[in-house]
Amino acid sequence: MTLVLRTTTQLVRREDDCVYVTPGPNGYVPPSDTACNAYYLFNPQYAPAVAVAVIFGVFTGIHVVEAFVFKKRYAWVLIMGSSWETLAFVLHSFGARDQQNLGYSISWTLLFLLAPLWINAFAYMTFARMVHYWHPEGRVGGMRAAVIARWFVVADILCFLVQLVGGVMANPQSGPTIMQVAMYVYTGGTSLQQLFILIFLGLMVAFQRRCSRASPTTPDGDESVEKPGWRPLLYALYAVLVCITVRIIFRIVEFSQGFTLDNPIPLHEEYAYALDCFPMMVALLILAVFHPGRYLRGPDSEFPRLSRKEKKALKMDKKEARLAAKAAKKQAKDNKRESGSDETGSSLV
Q: Per-residue pLDDT tens for 90-110? A: 999 999 999 989 889 999 999
Residue 5: the pLDDT is: 43
Residue 12: the pLDDT is: 43
Point out which residues pair with 224 in neighbouring strands.
Answer: 219
Helices (H) and strands (E) in the chain, counts: 10, 4
User: How high is the mean pLDDT of the chain?
Assistant: 84
Stretch 209-229: mean pLDDT:
63
Name the nearest CA neighbour of 56 among 294, 254, 288.
288
d(CA 249, CA 309): 47
Question: How many Cα atoms within 13 Å fall on the side-chain side of residue 189?
Answer: 24
Residue 34 CA: distances (Å) to CA of 19, 20, 174, 224, 317: 6, 8, 12, 72, 67
Residue 154 · residue 222 · CB < 8 Å: no
Please name the helix (run of DSSP H) or strand (run of DSSP E) that holds residue 321, with its range, or none. helix 308-348
Which is more confident, 131 or 14?
131
Residue 344: the pLDDT is: 54
Residue 83: the pLDDT is: 97
Q: CB under 8 Å to 333, separation ≥6 — which residues?
A: none
Q: How confident is the model at residue 169 (pLDDT cuts 50, 70, 90)?
A: confident
**The pLDDT of residue 219 is above 70:** no
d(CA 59, CA 118): 14
Q: What is the pLDDT of residues 12-50, one digit of tens each?
A: 444 446 788 888 888 888 877 677 778 888 899 999 999
Q: How confident is the model at residue 314 (pLDDT cuts 50, 70, 90)?
A: low
Name the nearest CA neighbour of 172 among 322, 300, 6.
6
Question: Checking DSSP bridges between strand 223-226 and strand 139-140, what pairing results, if any?
Answer: unpaired
Residue type, 113: L
Name the nearest CA neighbour of 193 among 161, 228, 159.
159
Poorest-pLDDT segment among 236-240, 281-285, 302-306 = 302-306
**The pLDDT of residue 84 is above 90:** yes
Indicate the pTM of the whole model: 0.81
Residue 273 · residue 52 · CB < 8 Å: yes
Which is more confident, 12 or 274?
274
